[in-house]
Amino acid sequence: MKIRIAFIVFAGILSLSPMSYSAETQEQEVCSNKKECDLPAMFYEKYFTFRPAKGTEISFDLDRDIRRNIFMKTLTFSGSGNYFVPHIYVKYYKEDNREFKKYEDYLEANSKDIFNIPDNNLLSFEPLVQTKVNKRKAYVIVRKKYRFKDYHSKTSAGAWEKEKIYVIPAEKGFYVLHYSAEESEYSKHIKAFEKLVKSFKGKISN
């Protein structure tokens, strides 16, 4: 009995480790064994499902997400970007998460320059748009910001980052589908992102 309990605890620790796998086949895990990847990956299906964009590697950290009450999968495009790699975040913010209590708070913080910096030439926003994602109410944020290669140096080289973000309210919490790329690479993967958005299904009703 003691041996069995110890094995269960050990397996649980492994299952909470950060993991990643290829979206090409959705079966090619980078974990030490298949069960180790499948169990935590299936945990996210309580909150959302989607069809992964081709050419991406999917990663997640269940232990971190449980602590924050923000459940996120990151899809990273390989072989692109001069300064940073294009990526997609698929997130579910539970109502008791540590960052934003309501979707309105997220919109307020991410759809405009909250610091009201005069003549800010490093950040710009398109008007906030209301839309639908699979018959659910949603909001679209499109913004650009200049991202320095060295975060601590405002004189280092950098590139314009362009982002498109869908915010989908839920009965408890909300969802965020977030695409980010260098502006020069943005059009290369935007169709893959929109296909993912169309396939997205939030399990928490609105």
> Which tokens hold the place of 146?
């200049």
Domain 2-202, CATH among 3.40.1000.10, 1.10.10.10, 3.40.50.720, 1.20.1090.10: 3.40.1000.10
Structural domain boundaries in the chain:
2-202
The pLDDT value recorded for residue 20 is: 63
| Per-residue pLDDT tens over the stretch 25-47 | 343 334 444 544 566 778 999 99
CB 37 within 8 A of CB 21: yes
Q: What percent of the chain has pLDDT over 70?
A: 76
Nearest to 188 by CA among 103, 78, 27: 78
Q: Can you tell me the distance from the alpha carbon of 149 to that of 120, in angstroms, rounded to the nearest whole number?
A: 19
